[in-house]
Copies of this chain bind each other. A is one copy, B any other.
Amino acid sequence: MRVDQETDAIERLAYAGGRLTRARRLIARTAAQLHGAFTIDTLAERVRVTDAASGANATVYRAVAAMERAGFLTRVGERGGHALFARCSTRGHHHHIVCETCGRVAHADCPLTQAIEASNAQGFRITRHEVTMYGLCPECAARTGS
């Protein structure tokens, strides 16, 4: 089977040196097609539509973990108890805005520089922080009415 060069590049990128198996190729391709944030079970369902044999939950979970390690996917929040992932290879520290309706994802600069300084002033040493904003993307906001 000949593989389209761009697709092949995406698949290789997704696993950063890991093995490219039939399942992993399909999972990466499917993840790249999904626009915005998705849950792992949504991804697994889509994979199974194309190839029922390659969508075992455990395999998709492992592939997503590998793609996260490779910096191809990022955990961008959660919805209804399911972790949300999105393709994000943007470098540098930043945060995500997730549309609650359609899952579209936008980037936001880190607003905490000052907050961390203020905390340091209180004697705290901040080592880690989490910021996620949820809302409506421009399209969904327009659809919902002003």
* Count of this chain's copies in the oligomeric assembly: 2
**A49, CB-defined interface residue at 8 Å:** no
In the docked arrangement, what's the CA distance between A111 and B137, Å? 21
**A97 touching B119 in the complex, CB below 8 Å, given contacts A124-B138, A134-B128:** yes
Question: Which B residue sits closest to A111, measured CB to CB?
Answer: B115
Q: Please tell me the number of chain A residues within 8 Å of chain B, measured between CB atoms.
A: 31
Residues on the B chain within 8 Å of A8, using CB: none
Residues of B within 8 Å of A111, CB to CB, are 111-112, 114-115
Does residue A22 face the partner (Cβ distance < 8 Å to B)? no
Are A135 and B126 closer than 8 Å at their CB atoms?
yes
* Residue from the list B97, B119, B138 in contact with A133, Cβ < 8 A: B119
Answer whether A132 and B133 are a contact pair too, CB < 8 Å, given A111-B114, A122-B138, A124-B106.
no
A130 CB within 8 Å of chain B: yes
Instruction: Let me know if B128 and A130 touch, CB within 8 A.
Output: no
- A136 in contact with B141 given A109-B118, A111-B114 (CB within 8 Å): no
